[in-house]
Structure 1
Amino acid sequence: MDRISGLCDELLIKILLYVPTKVAVSTSILSKRWEYLWMWLPKFDYGSKHYSPSDCEMLQCFLEKNLPLHRAPVIESFRLVCSSEFKAENIKLWVVIAVSRCLRKLKVYYSSYPMKPNILPSNLYTCKSLVILKLEGNILLDVPRMGVLPSLKTLQLKRVIYFNEESLQRLLSNCPVLEDLLVDLREVDNMGKLTVVVPSLQSLSLYIPYNFDIDEIEIRTPFLKYFKLEDCNDKSHYCLVENMPNLMEAYVEVGLDNIKSLIGSITSVKRLSICISSKAMYDEGFVFNQLEHLKICFGEFSSNLLVRLLKDSSNLQVLDLSEMDDHCHEDMMVNWIQPSTVPECMLLSLQTLKWWGYIGTPGERDVAVYILKNVVHLKTMTVTSFEVEVPKFEMIKELALSSRASTACQLVFNCR
C-alpha cells in the first residue's frame, strides 16, 4: 500500500475510477494520503433500485455532507438512483452541483409514491456541457421556455411525467445537435399529439403503451438511420411520418389500420422487423429496393403483408419468420394466398430463410413448400419448432420430400 500511496494524485485518481464509487470513497479511511482523493473523481455512481430504506438514509446523509465539498472542476458522469426516502430538495441540490461542474453525462432514476415536487433544477435545461441525459421514473419534466442544451446528443426518457403536452416538444426543440432519442411513455398518461421534429436525429425509439391516450403522432426526422416504433395503443389515432431516406434499420410493431404514411417513410431501409396486429395493408407503389433482411412477426392477418413485402423487395437476401407471443397454437397462415407470379427476390436474391415457432399447420406447410419450390438461390432454410407441438420426424419428412428450386438448399431442423 505504501508504494501505491507514493504515486501522484492524478494516477491514484485514475486507479479509483476502476472501482465502484462506494469502494473509492471507502479508501478515505486508509490514511491522510487517501482521505480526500475521492473528492477529485470525475465520475460518480450512487444508489441502487434494491437499496433498503436504511441504505437510502445512509446514502442521503453521505451526499448531504460530502457532495458540496467535491473538488473536481469537471464531472464526466453522475448517476443517481433514489426513491421516496430521499428529499426532493436534496436531489435538486445534488443535480445543481453536478451541473455546475461542467457535467457531461447525467442519469437519474427516481421512484416515488405519491409523486413529490420537481426534482430537476432549472439550470439543467441550460447546461452547455451536457452530452448525455437519461431520466427514468417519477420525474416531472417541466421545461422552461428559454432552455437550451447546445451539446446534448443522447436523450432517454423512460416513464417520466410531462408537465403538459408541450413539455417534450419544447425540450426537443432546445436540443439542436440531438442524435439519439428514446421515449418510453407511461401507461396512464395522455399527450394528445406526440411530435418529434428533430432534423439532426439519427436514432429514434418510441414506445406507446396500450392505454395511453393519444390522438396523433407526427415524426419528422429526415436523417434518421435507426427507427423503432412500438405503438401498442388500442385507440384509433393518426400517424404522420415523413420520409427517412437514410434509414438503415427499422423495427415497427403497430396495431394501426392505416399504415400508408408509416410504410412510405421507411422504403429505403436495409433491415426491417415488422409486426402488424391488425388487418392493415399498404397501397401498391412502394418499392423496398435496398431491403436485404426482412423479419416478420406473424399475427392473424400477416400472411398477405408477407406477400406484398416479397413482391416489393427485389433485393431481399434474408427472410426471418416468427410468431407473435399472443397467437400461440393458431394457424397464422390460414389467410395465405399464393402469389399469381413468383416475386423477383425469390428468383434472384433470396438465400436464407429462418422460421421460428413452426408448428406444421396446413397454412404453414403451404408457405414452406411454396418457398422451397420457388426460391432459386436458397442456401439454407432453418426451421425451429417445439417438440410438443409437432413431432420432429413428421416435420423433417414433410419438408425434406418437398421439391426444391435450389439443389444446394440445406434444410436445418431445430426442436426445443
Structure 2
Amino acid sequence: MAKKVKMKGVDRISDLPDPILIHILSFLSTIIAARTSILSTRWRNLFTLVSNLNFELDGCISRWENRLRLRKFNSSTIKSFRCFVDRVLSFHGRTNVDKFRLKFRLKRGKCVDSDSACRWISGALMRGVKHLDLNISLDKFTFPDALFTCSSLVTLKLDIVLVLHVPEDIHFPNLETLHLKSVKFFDDNSVKSLFSSCSNLQDVVIENCSMMNVKSFRISHPLLRSLTIIRPCYTSNCWLTIDAPCLSNFKYIIDHLVAGYSLKNLESIVSADIQFLIENVDLQADARHAATIFREIYRVRSLVLSLYSLELLLSCEPFPAFPTLVELETPYDKAEQLMSSTDKGLETLLSHCPELENLAFRQVLFFDVLISLPEEVPSCLSFKVKAIEISNFKEDEDCIRKAKYILENGRALEKLTIRTSICCRFNKLKISQVLFAYPRKSKQCFILIV
C-alpha cells in the first residue's frame, strides 16, 4: 500500500498568480500590505502594485498599545507615518490609484501637517483616483485646486471640519457618490455649484453639516437615487429644497427644524426613514411642519418613523394616505420617550394604508398607540397584514384584549411576535396560555412570545 505523503510547510498562497495576490492585498490597510514584503522575495514588491491605498495613522500603533487601547501619537510616530505615505506614493510612480483613503484625527500640537496631506491628496488625484475617502482633522486646511476638477472621481467622501468653499468652475462629470460629514457650507452658491457640477450623481449623504451660512439648501438632480440627511446644525434659517424625480431611498434624521420645505417630484420614493428627534412645545405647529414631508412621500412602500415622527403623523390635518405602504417600523431608540396623548391612534393610520403587510414597533408600546378597536376593521388588518412585532407588551387586560382583536381579525396574519417587558417566567407563561388558546382567524398564524 502506497504511503500517504504529508505536505508540511508548503506555501500554497505564494504560488498564486500575481493578480490574485494583489487582489487579496487590496483588502488590507496599506501599512499591513507593506509588511508582507518581508515574507520573501516573492512578496517584496507586490504591495506596490495594489491600486487601493488605505492610510490610517492608527495602523502605526504597536500591537501591544492597540490592545491597551492607547492612542499616544508622538512626533516620531507621526514622522514615520508621513515618511511611509511618501514612500508608498513614490513606489507607485504613475500607476493608477483606484481607491485612496486617508484617516487621522489628532489633538492640537500632534498632527500631520497640512502641506503633507495636501501633497498626498494631489498625488492621488494625479494618478486618476476614482474613490477618495478623507477622514482627517487639520487646522487651516484647504483642498488642492485639482480636487474640484477631477474628472476621474466616482466616489467622494469627506469627514473633515472645515468651511467648504466651492469654486464656480467645479466639475465632477463622473461623480456618483458624495458623502459629506462635519463640513460647513460657505454659502448658497457653494451648495448650488456643488450639486450642479455632478451630472451623474446618484447617492448623497449630508451628516452633521453646518447650515449657518445657508438660506436655501437646494438638492435638485434628475438622476439622484439615494439621499440621506442626518442632524444638520444651525438650520433655523435654512430652507430645504428637494427636487429628485428618480429618488428611491430617503433618510431624514433631524433634531432641529428647518425654516421650511419645498419638495417636489418625490413620487418615486420606495423607502423612507423619517426621524424627528426633538419635541417642541407646539405639537400642532410641528405637525404642520412635518406634514409637508409626509404628503410628498405618499407613494412609499417601506416607512421607518421615530416615536415623535409617528406622533406628528397622527396629528396631521388632513391625514395623509399611503396607498402603497407595505412595511411600517418604529426603530429602537432608548433616548426617546413614549408618545404623549393624541386625538388619533394607530387605527387611523391603518385605515389609510390598504396594502400594509408588516408592522414592527420595536420601542413604543404598540397598544398604547392603538387607542381604539374600530368595529369596522381596517382592510389591511383583515386581508393584508402578515407580520406584526410588538415590544414592551404588558400583562394587563387592555393589552390582552387588543392582542385578541388582532388574532380574531387578521385573516392573512402569519406571525405575531410579542416582546414582553416582564421578567417573570410565570407571567410570560400566563400570557402564552391565554393567547395560544384564543381562536385565530388565520390558520397559519404563528405566535412567538419572548
Smaller-chain TM-score range? 0.7 to 0.9
* Residues 305, 245 of structure 1: alpha-carbon distance in 2 compared, 3 angstrom cutoff: farther
- Does the CA contact (< 8 Å) of 2:99 and 2:132 recur in 1? yes
| 2:297 corresponds to which of 266, 291, 307 | 266
- Does the CA contact (< 8 Å) of 2:207 and 2:231 recur in 1? yes
Deviations for 1:244-281, whole angstroms, at most 9, x for unmatched residues? 22222111112542222211222222211122416523
Which range moves more in the overlay, 89-98 or 279-288? 279-288
1:327 maps to none
- Does the CA contact (< 8 Å) of 1:331 and 1:364 recur in 2? no
Question: How far 1:139 moved relative to its partner?
Answer: 4.0
Which range moves more in the overlay, 138-147 or 182-191? 182-191
1:406 maps to 442
| 1:168 corresponds to which of 180, 191, 199 | 191
1:392 maps to 428
- What is the letter of the counterpart of residue 307 of structure 1? E
Deviations for 1:376-396, whole angstroms, at most 9, x for unmatched residues? 222221101233389313432
- Does the CA contact (< 8 Å) of 1:310 and 1:345 recur in 2? yes
Question: How far 1:22 moved relative to its partner?
Answer: 1.3
Question: How far 1:101 moved relative to its partner?
Answer: 1.0
Question: How far 1:109 moved relative to its partner?
Answer: 0.5
- What is the letter of the counterpart of residue 74 of structure 1? N
Tell me which protein shows more helix as a share of its residues: 2
Aligned counterparts of 2:174 and 2:387: Cα–Cα separation in 1 = 43
Q: Aligned with 1:98: secondary structure?
A: helix
1:41 maps to 50
- Does the CA contact (< 8 Å) of 1:182 and 1:205 recur in 2? yes
Question: How far 1:14 moved relative to its partner?
Answer: 4.6
Deviations for 1:120-153, whole angstroms, at most 9, x for unmatched residues? 2121111101001111132442211110111011
Question: How far 1:295 moved relative to its partner?
Answer: 1.5
| 1:239 corresponds to which of 237, 257, 261 | 261
Q: Are 1:382 and 2:405 an aligned pair?
A: no
Question: How far 1:169 moved relative to its partner?
Answer: 3.6
Unaligned runs of 5+ in 1: 325-329
| 2:116 corresponds to which of 66, 74, 90 | 90
Q: Aligned with 1:272: secondary structure?
A: strand
2:140 maps to 117
Aligned counterparts of 2:177 and 2:300: Cα–Cα separation in 1 = 22
| 2:96 corresponds to which of 74, 86, 94 | 74
- What is the letter of the counterpart of residue 267 of structure 1? Y
Question: How far 1:171 moved relative to its partner?
Answer: 1.3
Question: How far 1:42 moved relative to its partner?
Answer: 1.4
Question: How far 1:409 moved relative to its partner?
Answer: 2.6
1:317 maps to 357
- Does the CA contact (< 8 Å) of 2:321 and 2:352 recur in 1? yes
Aligned counterparts of 2:54 and 2:82: Cα–Cα separation in 1 = 13
Q: Aligned with 1:316: secondary structure?
A: coil
Q: Aligned with 2:418: secondary structure?
A: strand
What TM-score results when the alignment is normalised by the length of structure 2? 0.78
- What is the letter of the counterpart of residue 152 of structure 2? S
Deviations for 1:207-259, whole angstroms, at most 9, x for unmatched residues? 125775454322221111111111222x4632333242222211111254222
- Does the CA contact (< 8 Å) of 1:120 and 1:140 recur in 2? no
Aligned counterparts of 1:215 and 1:140: Cα–Cα separation in 2 = 17
1:105 maps to 131
* Residues 303, 230 of structure 1: alpha-carbon distance in 2 compared, 3 angstrom cutoff: farther
- Does the CA contact (< 8 Å) of 2:308 and 2:339 recur in 1? yes
2:271 maps to 249
| 1:199 corresponds to which of 209, 214, 222 | 222
Deviations for 1:323-363, whole angstroms, at most 9, x for unmatched residues? 25xxxxx8971771333521111222112111123234665
Q: CA RMSD in A?
A: 3.4
Which range moves more in the overlay, 376-385 or 210-219? 210-219
Question: How far 1:73 moved relative to its partner?
Answer: 3.1
Q: Aligned with 2:201: secondary structure?
A: coil
1:370 maps to 405
* Residues 49, 243 of structure 1: alpha-carbon distance in 2 compared, 3 angstrom cutoff: farther
Aligned counterparts of 1:305 and 1:162: Cα–Cα separation in 2 = 41
- Does the CA contact (< 8 Å) of 1:40 and 1:72 recur in 2? no
What TM-score results when the alignment is normalised by the length of structure 1? 0.84
* Residues 231, 405 of structure 1: alpha-carbon distance in 2 compared, 3 angstrom cutoff: same
2:3 maps to none
Which range moves more in the overlay, 205-214 or 252-261? 205-214
1:300 maps to 340
